[in-house]
Amino acid sequence: MFHTEDVKKWNKEVILKIIENLKENVDEARYEISKQTGNVMSIIYNICVKFKNRTKDQSEEFSIILKKPTQFEFLRQTIRSDVQFHNEILFYRMYAQPNENFAKCFYIDERPPFDSVIALENVNEQGYYSCACPCKTNTPLEYTLAAMREIGRFHGKGYVMKELQREKFFAIVEQLQEIKYDKMLDENRIIFLNLTATRAVEYLRNQGYDTAFCDRMEALLSNAFDKVMMKTVESREPLSTLCHGDFVLDNILFKTENGQHRAILIDFACLRYSTPVVDLSTYLYLSCSNEVRKDKFFEIIRAYHDALKEYLLEANIWDSEKYSYDALLDDYKIGGLFGFVIASFYLPILMGYVIKGHLTCINEFENEETAKQNKQLGGDKISKILADMLLHLRDLGCVE
């Protein structure tokens, strides 16, 4: 059968609770599980709920995405799925509002390690879908600009709550749990990041590039976890806000109306309190080609800043000094290497190079051996892409 009896019973109990939340206008409700999928972190069910609306006296239906943590103990501990669900449940419970540009949340229940659940509106019904570009690392400019406008509004929401509901805002921040950047979590991750981060420098050395620059970059990037990642994720006032934390193409959906592209963010498991560069650099170095990033960098950042400014003006908290375009660029110069370090190990995987026998070689197998293998994925093609990224970061003033 498609589902075990236990899974069917669990789904029924959850869906009945969702239907109860729809209040008194629902009658003759029933549901169909159309598809079961999943990823490393969760099991996902697509569910269609059909019912009679007593108020309107007509039949209606809506589609739900039901997320539940992975049942595999090894994966659960490795990727800390209970923490990821905690952060996303916190997001929907205390942060997202019904009238905002997020998927509607029908039901949440935090019962780690296996029985937490998040039930969300399937925004495909609104016309939102994944970007259909053939390569996730070369997003068309119009989609990138839409994504930047949306993350600008997202960061703006954090600033507004921080200014107007400070106590509530920091109550959320204090409840967020760290997943990736904590020395106490996993020594293997530190080793992995430090070893893979120097790939571009090694390529530049082999090409006979400036020795002094290579020496300086090797000294920095061989300790990338401390000197880049930990330094960047630390809060820096006044620009720290609530950041998505995993702002990549997989976590953005798009729709087109009257020739205009709009974006919506999904998956808030890596939510964190940091400055905007955490999200901006992650997207730019994982989802944009070197050509687009080099030629359109300032246009992309301007689109982000314009959306942020508009949001803050509407909320009447705009501060031309605190949130200025120059302040944003200065923040980028301080932390721009953050996305580059992620790209140093993740870009070859996004481009289709996977270590044989490993699921993703990112979360599950981060250690010295896989770091050495990772640095060979894609050969000189990947190494040159990373080297060009590093040189562009130098030109932007991010490696001073």
Task: Give every residue of the chain whose pLDDT is below 50, as ranges.
Answer: 1-2, 358-364
Q: Express each pLDDT in 21-51 by its tens digit.
A: 766 677 777 788 776 776 667 888 888 888 8
183-205: string of b/e by CB count within 10 Å (b at 16+)? eeebeebbbbbbbbbbbbbebbb
DSSP class of 98: T
- pLDDT value at residue 2: 40
Helical residues (DSSP H) of 263-336, grouped into ranges: 277-287, 290-314, 325-335
Domains in the chain (CATH in brackets) are: 4-126 (3.30.200.20), 129-396 (3.90.1200)
Going from the C-alpha of 273 to that of each of 115, 162, 170, 306, the distances in angstroms are 27, 11, 9, 22
Q: Express each pLDDT in 318-349 by its tens digit.
A: 999 999 999 999 999 999 999 999 999 999 99
